[in-house]
Amino acid sequence: MKYYSLSYSLQWLPFLIPTLILSCCVSAAQFNVPRLGPLSRGILRNPEPAAVSESFSKDLKTFFYAQTLDHFNYRPESYKTFRQRYVMNFKHWGGAKAGAPIFAYLGAEAPLDGDLVTIGFLNDNAARFDALLIYIEHRYYGKSIPFGSTKEAMKNASTLGYFNSAQAIADYAAVLMHVKKKLHAQNSPVIVIGGSYGGMLASWFRLKYPHIALGALASSAPILYFDEIAPEIGYYSIVTKDFREASESCYRTIRRSWSEIDRIASKPNGLSILSKRFKTCDHLESSFELKDYLDSIYAEAAQYNEPPTYPVTVVCKGINGASKRTDTLGRIFHGLVAIAGKRSCYDTKEFNYPTETYLGWRWQKCSEMVLPIGHATNDTMFQPEPFNLNRFIKVCNSLYSVSPRPHWVTTYYGGRDIKLILHRFASNIIFSNGLRDPYSSGGVLENISDTLVAVYTRHGSHCLDILPSQKSDPQWLVMQRKMEVEIIKGWMDKYYTDLANRR
């Protein structure tokens, strides 16, 4: 466990165990659905929060708001407050008198620290809009922890119960109203921005709090990946498509590899052979452990298939580049080395480290964020494995002794028949996607109206548009960002006209 001190890992042991139990007997792929979030925190990149916090710009000022624990309940306990962190950057703000805008980044399932540097869209456009920048941390992450400590907050369902999206966007509403009041910025339009789960929050925030946000940029937000609106196979179909487009033979090798792993695993000492061949840090307890690890690597490579490196191409170069006589598993291992780098050993539990994000998102999945990702049929390069809601519910019960509410997201936020419903309701949301992002299969890819628009790129990956712009950015990415800025500019022009004509 090279990232964690023993004491830390022991502290989380009780959380870890059920997952281990699970993964020793069946595939955990479905339970550990590919992670959301603008950046890979797996093998592709690994920003250390500590490092990030040192890089804080001098323009960033940190504040804490006394946030209400439960906005939708009036039990005495509901009135408890916790310190919610938000960070502001006034450098380019045109001020309240001018009604200059506010760009608000809505935090997602991670501490805010990383986002302050990895979410470039706000900073890259602050000067052009004379915008005040505010980044708000999601409850139960980072420094915004109720009940005094992460240990207390994460203890059980009784303290975790307040940890959900409706409470989170109500937090954002309260913080934004507080800030606007404090700055006398009542006329400053707010644009909320988020990526992945945070992109869902941004679009939902505009829908639920139009009186607080003028518009939303929802980047790579799979708001349709709930309650069987989008097909469960969507995610892995796109992973497959990405690899097949990169290389047909690479695709065929991966497709072949699973049964080959099973064949060897079934031998006496099969798991020892596999452990050796893949240099696993710990002796494999089941073939699923290896298959889930590779599954996660291919998924992350596709989801974060960013220029200029394009991880999918990297994996396939590794697989295809092996010497002629290399067998299937040899080629798969070559692909692993190509993307993960030469290591003394490969930790198949790498994607299940009990990080804040892993543990926080696991709770969110087990309460309301039930994304039924699976692959029932044979159409992908993965082994068929339908999403099994009952098993999912069983795992959640074993972890928290409460059941998910798989229909709540569509009840509260909608999603079904979205065009029919929102064509004549709501406005000012950009749903941005990259079609190579597996999560785009749950995204909005069609304009709903003149002001509810889908902006996507054929070659884009997860949340690419809100990452910092770079010299090396391909033209299609530059154009996507330009279009998003133009659309937001249009919303504001309309708003300022309405404001001027207000009686």
Q: Quick one: which of 152, 248, 417, 493 contacts a second copy (CB under 8 A)?
A: 417
Taking CB under 8 A as the rule, does residue 163 contact a second copy?
yes
- Whether residue 233 contacts residue 376, with contact meaning beta carbons closer than 8 Å, is answered with yes
Could you tell me which of 190, 172, 339 has the C-alpha nearest to residue 254?
A: 339
8 burial (CB, 10 Å; 0-12 / 13-18 / 19+) is exposed
Q: Does 423 participate in binding a second copy (rule CB under 8 A)? A: yes
- Contact at 8 Å (CB) between 134 and 86? yes
Count of Cβ atoms closer than 10 Å to residue 324 Cβ: 4
424 binds a second copy (CB under 8 A): yes
**DSSP 8-state symbol, 377:** S
Query: Considering 437, 440, 441, 461, which one is annotated as catalytic?
Result: 437
Applying CB under 8 A, the span of 83-91, 260-268, 376-384, 423-431 interacting with a second copy comes to 423-431
Alpha-carbon distance of 242 to 192, in angstroms, equals 31
Q: Could you tell me which of 235, 167, 232, 162 has the C-alpha nearest to residue 204?
A: 167
From 210, 231, 270, 307, residue interacting with a second copy (rule: CB under 8 A): 210
Query: Considering the complex, what minimum distance in angstroms separates the CB of residue 155 from a second copy?
Result: 12
- 437 assigned to active site: yes
User: 144, 196, 237, 440: which is the annotated catalytic residue?
Assistant: 196
Contact indicator for 359, 35 with CB cutoff of 8 Å: no
CB of residue 174 to a second copy, shortest distance in Å: 6
Binding of a second copy at residue 170 (CB under 8 A)?
A: yes
Longest dimension (CA), the chain: 82
Residue 127 lies near a second copy (rule: CB under 8 A): no
**Of 287, 347, 462, 465, which one is the catalytic site residue?**
462
Assess contact for 112 and 137: CB atoms under 8 A.
yes
- Establish if 216 lies at the interface with a second copy (CB under 8 A): no
**420 binding a second copy? (CB under 8 A):** yes
Contacts of 478 (CB under 8 A, 6+ apart): 469
Q: Report CA Rg, the chain.
A: 23
Number of residues that bind a second copy (CB under 8 A): 57
Please name the residue that has the structure tokens 């065009």. 419
Instruction: Write out the binding residues for a second copy, residues 62-91 only, by CB under 8 A.
Output: 70-76, 78-79
- Catalytic: 462? yes
416 part of the interface to a second copy, by CB under 8 A: yes
Hey, which bits of 214-352 come out as E strands? 215-219
Among the listed ranges 166-174, 238-246, 330-338, 349-357, the one in contact with a second copy (CB under 8 A) is 166-174
Beta bridge partners, 82, equal: 67
Q: Is 398 a catalytic residue?
A: no
> Does 490 help bind a second copy (rule: CB under 8 A)?
no
Binding residues among 12-51 for a second copy as defined by CB under 8 A = none
Does the protein bind a second copy through residue 174 (CB under 8 A)?
yes
Nearest to 178 by CA among 86, 248, 255, 242: 86
Which residues, 367 to 406, sit near a second copy by CB under 8 A?
367-368, 401-403, 405
| Angle of CA points 116, 371, 27, to nearest 5° | 105
Task: Please report whether residue 499 would count as binding a second copy according to CB under 8 A.
Answer: yes
DSSP state of 469: P
Just list the catalytic residues: 196, 437, 462
Q: Which residues bind a second copy (CB under 8 A)?
A: 70-76, 78-79, 157-158, 160-164, 166-167, 170, 173-174, 177, 208-212, 367-368, 401-403, 405, 407-408, 411-412, 414-428, 451, 494, 498-499, 502
